[in-house]
Structure 1
């Protein structure tokens, strides 16, 4: 069963898009069987988490196992409200949608789900930048979080970021074309493994769905996807400058770190540095997956990711 809705934020005129999938016969809701997902720095949630590949999306995989699953597009992404600055040229304004703003959007989505389902807590799942946001939210709102899953976790950077904002002063948003998206995806994959990484048609299915979420960008030549630059500003001010964005010792819930070996966006050293800092997580896990990139959720080995995350979530349901 699928439902879509727009959730009001505290800021006038800004609404965020949420989508829900759950078994059709599900009538009672529990914290340990409720999951909210948020995306990364550039692309929206539904075109990856709920992209049907080989007949099934990750969102559907989790829902089919008895879960009430939600996804969220932060403002400026996907089907959520685009801030007014995105109607102007990028250089006309400074970076928009910083982590502080994004965490507020997550708070609005969490409160919406908790109220709608009449439950006190839920599981959080973040990908890439979303791991920083979900972890930050958890440090501030531990009582509302059951378990925390950080897929491709970001931490203090020792290598250059693959998110390119171009030369000159950082504008409100950046523009990414399909070719750049593909190049970034394959970064770090050994030459002899590239051809087998993504099954035929899957990249195009993702790109078609993703670029279609930005009609303004899609009308440009070549078509682009516009993405807010608040995350780039934060990255320069914190992880890129050797400073943590949040305090991992304030995470007091069971936490899973999971990534793939060829990830060049959030390389393995990030999760390895972060893991020992989770000193107050009562149950922390670290899973490294073979033969995958930052986007392993849409690659040949995606079931390895699904299974690792599912095992961690399912433990929460055991008496």
Structure 2
């Protein structure tokens, strides 16, 4: 999602061009993390949700430690959607002294969201209509359906069709099991759904007051998952005095892959440059 090779929406390339040493992390069970045998074991029949919040936070911590050691300077952290909750929890806990600045893009905090609750099964209550297994499969049509549902009438030009096609292609390609089912579908860990159920039920899963590094909250105005009221509630509870709130028009939850992506990239990069980050040293590749 952060390195789509189409229409200039690769955030990694934009960040590198802006002078940053840019990294994107595949959490365990996502993308190219682990080998096929590891994925098969992790997604074994009867297993519970994989890549839970605590596990994701461990992975974030390992990446931050590696990047900080490699470059010898503080790291900036950008978390998107569910990743905003794991990034924030890391910074509020074990990573409190390791992150120079934090960006929560399309953040989710603790506002009741009936539309999402209707899609989720309560992971804490037995007998739900849809048991929460280790993972689920996502098809190209699933991706299109969710994204299209957020585009308003006349908003078809917000996204380049080649971006969606490329995102679907590489997502299926990165999972060696994707074409063992019909239609092809790549595996996505269900650990994220445990956290999202709590957030969309109005239950905070971390204390924003413990975040004391400079923090930017940013969302697109047509995003039904990260709402304005939820983001403002999070903004008000942040412990840092160095905080900023930003909305970008004519975009959805996936604005980083839409035509307004450059507005998002430039705003985030400007914030990180002002508040310290891992940037390239002279001559470094």
Q: Residue 242 of structure 1: CA displacement? A: 2.0
SS at match of 2:63: helix
Query: Aligned pair in 2 of structure 1 residues 55, 247: CA closer, same or farther (>3 Å)?
Result: closer
Q: Residue 317 of structure 1: CA displacement? A: 4.9
Please say which of residues 209-218 and 130-139 is displaced more in the overlay: 209-218
Contact 2:150 2:223 in 1 (8 A): yes
Q: Residue 52 of structure 1: CA displacement? A: 2.4
- Give 1:206's match in structure 2, choosing from 167, 177, 193: 167
1:301 aligns with 2:256: no
1:161 aligns with 2:122: no
String of CA shifts for 1:16-39, please: whole Å, max 9, x gaps. xxxxxxxxxxxxxxxxxxxxxxxx
Please say which of residues 247-256 and 199-208 is displaced more in the overlay: 199-208
1:96 aligns with 2:96: no
1:283 aligns with 2:242: yes
Q: Distance in 1 between matches of 2:255 and 2:195?
A: 25
- Give 2:141's match in structure 1, choosing from 176, 179, 188: 179
Which sections of structure 2, spanning at least 5 residues, go unmatched?
A: 122-128, 278-285
Query: Aligned pair in 2 of structure 1 residues 264, 218: CA closer, same or farther (>3 Å)?
Result: farther
Contact 2:9 2:257 in 1 (8 A): no
Query: Aligned pair in 2 of structure 1 residues 115, 204: CA closer, same or farther (>3 Å)?
Result: same
Q: State the partner residue of 1:115.
A: 69
String of CA shifts for 1:84-131, please: whole Å, max 9, x gaps. 544434xx1211211011101111111111222233x21000111111
Please say which of residues 303-312 and 210-219 is displaced more in the overlay: 210-219
Q: Distance in 2 between matches of 1:242 and 1:231?
A: 16
Which protein has greater RCO, CA pairs closer than 8 Å, 6+ apart?
2
Q: State the partner residue of 1:190.
A: 152
Contact 2:79 2:86 in 1 (8 A): yes
- Give 1:228's match in structure 2, choosing from 177, 183, 189: 189
Q: Distance in 2 between matches of 1:164 and 1:206?
A: 23
**Deviation above 3 Å: which 4+ runs of structure 1?**
82-87, 162-167
Contact 1:86 1:173 in 2 (8 A): no
| Larger relative strand fraction | 1
What value does the CA root-mean-square deviation take over the aligned residues? 2.0
SS at match of 1:68: coil
Q: Distance in 2 between matches of 1:64 and 1:285?
A: 24
Q: Distance in 2 between matches of 1:262 and 1:108?
A: 34
Q: Residue 67 of structure 1: CA displacement? A: 1.1
1:134 aligns with 2:70: no
Give the TM-score taking structure 1 as reference length.
0.78
Which sections of structure 1, spanning at least 5 residues, go unmatched?
A: 1-47
Q: Residue 219 of structure 1: CA displacement? A: 2.8
Work out the number of aligned pairs and report it: 265
SS at match of 2:32: coil
Give the TM-score taking structure 2 as reference length.
0.87
Contact 1:261 1:292 in 2 (8 A): yes
Q: Distance in 1 between matches of 2:217 and 2:56?
A: 21
